[in-house]
Amino acid sequence: MYNQNLLSRFEIYLAAERRVSSNTVIAYKTDLMQFAHFLSRITSQKTLTAATMHDVRDWIMSLVKEALNTCSINRKIAALRTFYTFLQKKELMVDRPTDGLKSLKVKKRLPIFFQEKELLSFLNQYVFPVNFSGFRDKLILEMVYGTGIRLNELLSLHITDINLINRTIKVLGKRNKERLIPFLQPLKQMIETYLSQKEALGYSSIKELFITDRGKPCYPMLIYRIIKKHLATNIQAGRHSPHIFRHTFATHLLNNGASLLSIKYLLGHSSLMATQHYTHVDVTRLKKAFQDAHPRA
C-alpha cells in the first residue's frame, strides 16, 4: 500500500531540510497514508509512486464530496505537493502528478487577536509565581508577544541565539531563512533574570533557551498549557494559543503605524500577500480615520 522506508525518508526531509514543525510532519505522513489507502482501493498494485494526476484529482473530489473542511483538504494537497517534489528532487520520480493542481478557495477570515489595552493590562498587573516556572512562563508570554515568533521557532531558540548587547534574537524560520528580531529593554531584563534562575538550578549547560522544570527542552503542548493557564480566566478571546499572540503582535504593530514591509520581515513571511492578512481595521478606528481625513466630516 505504501513504502514505509520512503515515508521515513520523507519525514527526515521535512524535519532536516524543510524544517517544518513536528505536528506538520505527523500531519503530512497521515495524509500520505490516507492517499495510499485511497489508491489501494482502485487496485492493489497502485502505489504512491505510481499515482497519476487523475488519481490525485479523484481523491480530492472524494474529500470534497465527504464535506471535509476546505482548510484540511488544502493541507492534504500541500502534503502531496511536498511529497512529490521530494521524490523529484531525489530523482525517484520524473513527473509530479500534482503539477497544475490548485488549492481550493477558502473564505477569508480575519485573524483573532487580543485587544491591546486588555493584554497590556494583564501583562503589567498579573502576578506570576516567584519561582523558576513563573519566570519562564512570564518570559514565554512576553517573548511571543514582543517578537511574534512562531511556536516552532520559540522552541528551537538556543541561548546563543540571544544577543543581549544588541537586543536581538536570531531566528531560523521556514525553509532555513534566518532573520534578526529586535526586542525591548524590559524583555532583556526578563531574559537575564530567567537565565540566572536557570543557572542556579544547574541547567546553564542546556543549549535550548526554554526548558521544563526538570531541565528538559520545552515541547509544543507545554507552551499551549502555559498560555491557557495564565490567560484563560484573564483575557477574553475565542482561543488562547501561541499563534494568537503572533496575530496580536502583527495587528498591534500595524495599528500603531508600523509598515507592512517591516511586519513582513519580523514575521518571516516570504510574501507580502501573507502579511496583508493583517490589514483589517475595527469599526472604531475606521470611523476615526474617516472623521479625521474626509473633507466633509
Residue 254 is predicted with a pLDDT of 86
**Rounded Cα distance, 144 and 174, in Å:** 17
Q: Please compute the mean of the pLDDT values over residues 262-267 and round it to a whole number.
A: 92
Residue 26 is predicted with a pLDDT of 92
Residue 138 known to be catalytic: no
From 175, 243, 287, 288, active-site residue = 243
Residue 269 known to be catalytic: yes
Residue type, 136: R
Secondary structure class of 243 (helix, strand, coil): helix
| Position 271 confidence tier, pLDDT thresholds 50, 70, 90 | confident
pLDDT at 242 over 70: yes
From 136, 246, 247, 264, active-site residue = 246
**CB neighbours of 196 closer than 8 A, spacing ≥ 6?**
none
From 57, 75, 174, 280, active-site residue = 174
CB atoms within 10 A of CB 107: 6
- Tell me the β-bridge partners of 163: 168
Q: What are phi and psi of 113, to 5 degrees?
A: -150, 160
Residue 197 is predicted with a pLDDT of 95
Q: Please compute the mean of the pLDDT values over residues 137-166 and round it to a whole number.
A: 95
Torsion over CA: 245, 167, 270, 153 (sign): negative
Among 197-211, 226-240, 241-255, the minimum mean pLDDT is found in 226-240
- Which of 60, 61, 51 minimizes the C-alpha distance to 97? 51
DSSP per position, 95-137: S-TTTT--PPP----PPP---HHHHHHHHHH----SSHHHHHH
From 150, 198, 240, 252, active-site residue = 150
Q: What is this structure's pTM?
A: 0.66
From 96, 198, 252, 269, active-site residue = 269
Residue 174 known to be catalytic: yes
**Rounded Cα distance, 69 and 80, in Å:** 17
Among 93-102, 115-124, 288-297, the minimum mean pLDDT is found in 288-297
pLDDT at 220 over 90: yes
Q: What cell was used for 118?
A: 486588555
Cα separations (Å) of 173 from 85, 133, 156, 257, 270? 20, 26, 10, 25, 10
Residue 126 known to be catalytic: no
Domains of the chain, start order: 4-89 (1.10.150), 116-287 (1.10.443.10)
SS (H, E, C) 44-69: CCCCHHHCCHHHHHHHHHHHHHCCCC
Q: What are phi and psi of 162, to 5 degrees?
A: -100, 120
Residue 161 is predicted with a pLDDT of 97
Residue 243 known to be catalytic: yes
**Rounded Cα distance, 225 and 23, in Å:** 16
Among 50-64, 111-125, 135-149, 201-215, the minimum mean pLDDT is found in 111-125
**Rounded Cα distance, 194 and 162, in Å:** 13
Cα separations (Å) of 171 from 20, 103, 108, 190, 207? 14, 29, 29, 19, 15
- Between 175 and 251, residue with greater pLDDT: 251
Instruction: Note whether 263 and 275 are within 8 A (CB).
Output: yes
pLDDT at 110 over 60: yes
- Between 246 and 289, residue with greater pLDDT: 246
Residue 91 is predicted with a pLDDT of 87
Highest mean pLDDT among 12-26, 193-207, 224-238: 193-207
H runs (alpha helix) in the chain: 4-12, 22-42, 53-65, 70-89, 116-125, 132-147, 151-156, 185-200, 220-231, 242-255, 260-267, 272-275, 283-293
Angle, helices 132-147 vs 185-200, to 10°: value is 150
Residue 194 known to be catalytic: no
Average pLDDT along the chain: 88
- Tell me the β-bridge partners of 217: 211
Cα separations (Å) of 248 from 142, 146, 241, 252? 12, 10, 11, 6
